[in-house]
A = this chain, B = another copy of it.
């Protein structure tokens, strides 16, 4: 097959991350290496930009800006959550054809890979020559067929570091606040919540209880878990996924959350499970409890950049362009971990059709049997992804002075 010549468009979709712009930087840098790519356009707000013909010309974006994108959180092109409908396609392909678009690169999570997949199927149906490639992006780390997703490492570092930091805070406060619950993003998958353990060095360190949505959440068991840890340590640090749910799948403590374009309940827009449970702990156990809900801070915290995450995000972006030019089509770029002891990843490919319909959950081996902890196997998996080792806090020797009065 002859290499296509024409315009390459790039879209960003779904929730922003700290490194989706690093993938954009990788795509922009790589695109200018290939004479087949005559123009590079950005879709303003993802697929919505294509429908509205809102295209931003990135062909001559300057090198300094591209480099700065590697450490710019958010989604510089603007994002969207828009599910493609049957009557969108005429307009969509009219715009693509008018701008001679031959390469369509889209960065996002499962829903975005679904969009990519539909685009590609429709292009085939119409006999429109278009190379479609997906670029993985999600702090949730729930895309299948890839070792992990760019965006996860930095968000995981935020969660690991702030759990360590706030654990020290709670330890200091324990005479007047005993329980701190941090509500962490992840509706269905507990990858990010599990990262709370990555700063833990000793048994008594935070977090003491971790609840992921892979397990049914039982409020009574939770209260007895908290009480048990409190009796043992005098303070309790809890990490819980925003998607905590009961056996019917109903979110805990969230009555009126709205749903998004993909039909998912957006619990993040309600009061959340963390505040609900802090309230329950206060009322039922008579312990002072508070809730930290970092919200969007956790996915875009530029002070917590994992260099590994940035580098990999750049690499998957560049790989998407290179593979598309070489004739691959209908794939998402993946990260494939080397079996060597020293961590490294190469890129690979997974079919969009496969990725779009899969969601990857924490395997059983990463969750302790009692459902309140995360295993060493997870630590081995995740620690290389957060970059530099976390700094170790000072520990006073703590020799107590003999009482004399």
**A residues apposed to B, CB below 8 Å:** 12, 15-16, 18, 21, 41-42, 44-45, 48, 53-58, 61-62, 65-66, 68-69, 71-82, 94-95, 98-99, 158, 161-162, 164-166, 168-177, 180, 182, 258, 260-261, 268-269, 271-272, 275, 278-279, 282, 288-297, 299-304, 391-401, 403-405
Contact = CB atoms under 8 A, between A and B. Distances in A.
5 contacts: A16-B168, A57-B401, A71-B391, A80-B176, A292-B297
Contact of A165 (B269, B288, B301, B403): B301
Contact of A168 (B73, B166, B261, B288): B73
Contacts of A61: 396-397
A20 B66 CA distance: 40
Given A65-B394, A271-B275, 4 more contacts: A21-B394, A57-B400, A76-B168, A292-B297
A342 to B, nearest CB: 26
Contact of A295 (B58, B76, B95, B293): B293
A175 B78 contact: yes
Contact of A393 (B68, B269, B275): B68
Given A296-B292, A300-B165, A172 B79 contact: yes
A169 B299 contact: yes
Copies in the complex: 2
Contact of A401 (B99, B166, B396): B99
Contacts of A294: 292-295, 297
A258 B53 CA distance: 54
Contact of A301 (B54, B268, B293, B303): B303
A278 B269 CA distance: 8
Nearest to A258: B288
Most chain B CB inside 10 Å of its own CB: which residue of A81, A177, A180, A282: A177
B16 A172 contact: yes
A404 B95 CA distance: 8
A333 to B, nearest CB: 21
Given A68-B394, A169-B16, A393-B68, A55 B180 contact: no
Contact of A166 (B166, B296, B398): B296
A230 to B, nearest CB: 16
A291 B183 CA distance: 12
Contact of A396 (B15, B58, B180): B58
A18 B391 CA distance: 14
Contacts of A400: 44, 54-57
B297 A295 contact: no
Nearest to A79: B172
Q: Which 9 A-B pairs have the closest CB atoms?
A: A74-B168, A292-B295, A68-B394, A75-B172, A55-B401, A303-B303, A72-B393, A72-B394, A165-B300
A391 B73 CA distance: 11
Nearest to A7: B401
Contact of A404 (B65, B68, B99, B176): B99
A396 to B, nearest CB: 5
